[in-house]
Amino acid sequence: MPVMLLPLLMLAADLRLGIIGTDTSHAGAFATLLNGGKVPGAKIVAAYKGGSADVESSRTRVDKYAEELQTKFGVEMVNDIPTLAKKVDAILLLSIDGRTHLSQFKQVLAAKKPVFIDKPLASTLADAREIARLAKEANVPWFSASSLRYSEIVSSVEGPGILGAITWGPGPFEEHHQLELSWYAVHPIEILFTLMGPGCEEVTRVAGADSDEIACKWKDGRIGTVRALRPYGTYGAVVFRKDGVAVSPSKPHTDYEGLVREIVKFFETGKVPVANSDTLEMFAFMDAAQRSKEAGGKPMRVR
């Protein structure tokens, strides 16, 4: 179904959404908001389980969340991605394993359906760029974003005149993800880029026993820093302006509602809320950070 027809569908019925990957809690959280009616305009009607046998958090949860979707929300489970694509108007690619996203995305391109790709977009910069290239070639709209972009952490400190920022959040690693920061630290990284905007040109990463400090110099001379905490930790941000410093609340409100509303709006209009180029720059940032760590903390250019 062509993307331009999606707004017309809204006049008659909710958009039909399909999930790829039931190995993440996001599947149930999104269904609660959409099928529960808090976020109008779309319902999840079908899902493909997927799953990665070599990732514990995927292997141990994929069947549990699939059953929840079936029993609690009446979602139909299908055996393959092409079948899923035929049953829906738009797709939520939620698989927790970023390594699978490129191959799964390839399977939906022929259907010409808009796609939201959950974090992490991919496990390597090369895969992230290939997703973008294929999507552009096939004229398939997509976007990827962290729910933290729409959280109180950002809304409490965002605005004009930001000279620099520090963000922090959990940063555990997953052994199969080549870009270590993509597995979880992608969330505080996205908070930083939401506040600072694009334009990072040089990254320095200092790796510690229970945290990493990643500093980036922007092209206009501003400095941004991310602290990735291991195994887990709280989220937050500090913003610097000429007239003072703003700090996010110690217990900020964070949920998925803001993100899900943006996803539905994207599916309705075809307009991407987060530029694909911004998402790719975050992966280039993580790639530079990985190279910096491997070089013993030397600064690396974003390329």
Taking only the tens place, the pLDDT of each residue in 183-212 is: 999 999 999 999 999 999 999 999 999 999
Domain stops at, among 69, 102, 118 = 118
Question: Residue 290 is part of a domain; what is its CATH number?
Answer: 3.30.360.10
- 159 residue type, one letter: G
131 found inside a domain? no
Question: Residue 88 is part of a domain; what is its CATH number?
Answer: 3.40.50.720
> At 246, is the secondary structure helix, strand, or coil?
strand
Q: Same domain, yes or no, for 221 and 165?
A: yes
Residue 13 confidence class, pLDDT cut points 50, 70, 90: confident
Q: Label the pairing between strands 76-78 and 42-48.
A: parallel
51 found inside a domain? yes
Q: Same domain, yes or no, for 248 and 184?
A: yes
138 found inside a domain? no
- Give me the number of domains the chain comprises: 2
Q: Which domain holds residue 109?
A: 3-118
Residue 230 burial by Cβ neighbours in a 10 Å radius (0-12, 13-18, 19+): middle
Q: Same domain, yes or no, for 191 and 291?
A: yes
pTM, 2 dp: 0.94
Q: Which residues, including other chains, have CB under 8 Å from residue 35's CB and lie 6 or more apart? A: 43, 44, 73, 74, 75
Q: Same domain, yes or no, for 151 and 297?
A: yes
Please state, rounded to an integer, the average pLDDT across all residues of the chain.
95
Task: Say whether pLDDT at 24 is over 90.
Answer: yes
Q: Same domain, yes or no, for 102 and 166?
A: no
Residue 6 confidence class, pLDDT cut points 50, 70, 90: low
128 found inside a domain? no
